[in-house]
């Protein structure tokens, strides 16, 4: 019964593969954290930090900097 032997081998192989995969093995999420990334803003070539999760530099990031607000209006 060659067929039966083959099925048995497949089952053994499957179990072996499942047993080999350890739960602590995680793929490296280096797809969006690679080095050499630059700011996504047009015209900005500022290199982003490897640990910066944003697609833009701090100057072009989608964060609102209330620079003008709270500024005392100087009137002469
Ligand atoms: Zn930028």
pLDDT digits (tens, 9 = 90+) for 49-70: 877 788 899 888 876 656 666 6
Rounded distance from Cα 12 to ligand 1 centre (Å) = 54
Rounded distance from Cα 52 to ligand 1 centre (Å) = 12
Q: Is residue 19 part of a domain?
A: no
Which residues form the domain of 51?
34-63
Q: What are phi and psi of 9, to 5 degrees?
A: -65, -40
Cα–Cα distance measured from residue 38 to residue 49, given in angstroms and rounded to the nearest whole number: 9
Q: Mean pLDDT in runs of 10 for the chain (76 residues)?
A: 68 60 65 73 89 84 65 70
Q: Is residue 57 part of a domain?
A: yes
Q: Is residue 53 part of a domain?
A: yes
Helix residue ranges per DSSP H, 1-76? 2-20
Rounded distance from Cα 55 to ligand 1 centre (Å) = 9
- Is 33 in contact with 50 (CB distance < 8 Å)? yes
pLDDT at residue 13, as a whole number: 61
Total domains present in the chain: 1
Rounded distance from Cα 36 to ligand 1 centre (Å) = 14
């Amino acid at each position: 019964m060659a067929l039966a032997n083959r099925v048995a081998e497949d089952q053994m192989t499957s179990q072996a593969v499942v047993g080999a995969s350890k739960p602590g093995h995680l793929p490296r999420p280096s797809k969006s954290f690679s080095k050499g990334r630059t700011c996504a803003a047009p015209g900005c070539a500022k290199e982003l930090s490897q640990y910066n999760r944003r697609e833009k530099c701090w100057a072009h990031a989608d964060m609102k900097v209330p620079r003008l607000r709270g500024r005392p209006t100087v009137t002469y």
